[in-house]
Structure 1
Amino acid sequence: MTLLVSLTTQTNQALPSAAAWRSAVEYAAALLHRGGIIALPTDTVYGLACLAQNKQALRKLFQIKERTNDKPIALCIGAIQEITKYGKVDLKIIPLLNSLLPGPVTLLFEAWPMDKEGIANSHLVAIRMPDHPFILQVAQLCNGAIALTSANKSRAPSCLKVEEFKPLWCDLDAVFDEGKLGTIDPMRLGSTIIDLSIEGSFKIVRNGCALNDVKKILSIF
């Protein structure tokens, strides 16, 4: 039976106590370490997550999404310096990364040689560091990157409320509910995707919800 965990108080949608919040973070990380798949809020829409290095969990995540193997899933990290574990980063763009992250963007890098099943498309790897305290704290507790994708079937609309993906609940170990999202991404556009894999250049691959802010940041660098 899937456990529904509230990340707000029942009365005013405010954050719960620090102890209750920390308990939820630790529980989410523990489920991921045990090979579980959870739903949780991000800075854009609700997402599904598992540990990227757990191939069994990753395959189950693809099954839940009804996602084909040729569409890799992004890696969610808890700190900018972790990007270099998975992608080749030109040190000259570190100030750019500090301006973009955390935020509603997905960054593409040339991947280091690794087991790329489910997380890399040919030579590229996608990295997310959402601007949301819950998923960031969960990622920081996990020993390795989180595989992160939107909480919906492939080709179905993204979800701003947990009730919108209720048919998926039976396949999940827990759903962490923060109520209705949409402050940053009310149109469900998803993160803005930027290809940084070629040294000295960038390419916006998907406009997403942060396009205008991203353009302003990129114009500086």
Structure 2
Amino acid sequence: MAQFFEVHPDNPQLRLLKQAVSLLERGGIAAVPTDSSYALVCHLDDKAAADSLRRIRGVDDKHHLTLLCRDLSELANYARVDNRQFRLLKAATPGPYTFILEASKEVPRRLSHPSRKTIGLRVPEHKTLQCLLELHGAPLLATTLIPRGETLPLNDAGAIRDLMERELAAVIDAGACHQQPTTVIDLTPMGDGGEAVVIRQGRGDVAALGL
């Protein structure tokens, strides 16, 4: 049964977020607000939790999961980034963008795409989520919270609790967020002299990045 944490959107109560972090560190799955829609998150190094995350979301190992990072320097620890890619990342972070990049050795092989060896990474711009990441002290593995059989993500914590409380360890309510997923941009072609490719147009404005 999911624990429900209602926090202030601008000044989230750290004692409640610490409780949520404790549940994550024990292998739980949490629903958290982001600067796009809600997301499902778990501990990066917990294989059983990652398997549960995929099962709840209804995706296989070919679906890119995302690492939520506190900042660009942390992101660069988990991906191979050249100068061109770094400039684009710097212009877009923090924000509602997910970037596909070549995974570094810091990423467990079971989490990267099985054939491409890539991983999704992003730096969210959301006060509550940034506080959660800071308390956790490391990236969280994440996927957009789209219920099985649906096409739109959820953005209301109460609805998430009603639908998924038996599958989750925690739901963090910081008020309704947007109901658009992130914009997904594949930066791997840039490593071979090509251009970034927009995979999914979401909340992030690609024109602001010159794409």
TM range, normalised to the smaller chain? 0.7 to 0.9
Aligned equivalent of 1:161, options 156, 160, 169:
156
Aligned equivalent of 1:115, options 105, 108, 128:
108
> Could you report, residue by residue, the CA deviation over 1:110-142 in whole angstroms, capped at 9, with x for unpaired residues?
112442224435221100211101112212232
Using the alignment, how far apart are the partners of 2:124 and 2:48 within structure 1?
25
The aligned residue for residue 28 of structure 1 is: 20
Aligned equivalent of 2:188, options 182, 190, 197:
197
The aligned residue for residue 39 of structure 2 is: 47
| 2:13 match: secondary structure | helix
Using the alignment, how far apart are the partners of 1:116 and 1:215 within structure 2?
33
The aligned residue for residue 128 of structure 2 is: 134
Closer/same/farther in 2, CA of residues 152 and 204 from structure 1, 3 Å limit: closer
Amino acid at match of 2:206: V
Using the alignment, how far apart are the partners of 2:197 and 2:139 within structure 1?
24
Using the alignment, how far apart are the partners of 2:80 and 2:111 within structure 1?
18
How many pairs does the alignment contain? Answer: 204
Amino acid at match of 1:152: I
The Cα shift of 1:204 comes to: 1.0
Aligned equivalent of 1:175, options 157, 171, 176:
171
The Cα shift of 1:92 comes to: 4.2
The Cα shift of 1:78 comes to: 0.8
Task: Percent identity, please.
Answer: 25
Using the alignment, how far apart are the partners of 1:209 and 1:83 within structure 2?
20
- For structure 1, the 5+ residue unaligned runs are 9-13, 183-187
Kept in 2, the 8 Å contact 1:42–1:132? The answer is yes
TM-score by length of 2: 0.87
The Cα shift of 1:72 comes to: 2.7
Kept in 1, the 8 Å contact 2:95–2:124? The answer is yes
Using the alignment, how far apart are the partners of 1:96 and 1:132 within structure 2?
20
| 1:171 match: secondary structure | coil
Kept in 2, the 8 Å contact 1:38–1:173? The answer is yes
Amino acid at match of 1:5: F
The Cα shift of 1:104 comes to: 0.3
The Cα shift of 1:6 comes to: 0.7
Using the alignment, how far apart are the partners of 1:41 and 1:2 within structure 2?
15
The more displaced of 135-144 and 41-50 is 135-144
The Cα shift of 1:93 comes to: 3.8
Using the alignment, how far apart are the partners of 1:193 and 1:59 within structure 2?
22
RMSD: 2.0
Instruction: Report runs of 4+ in structure 1 exceeding 4 Å deviation.
Output: none
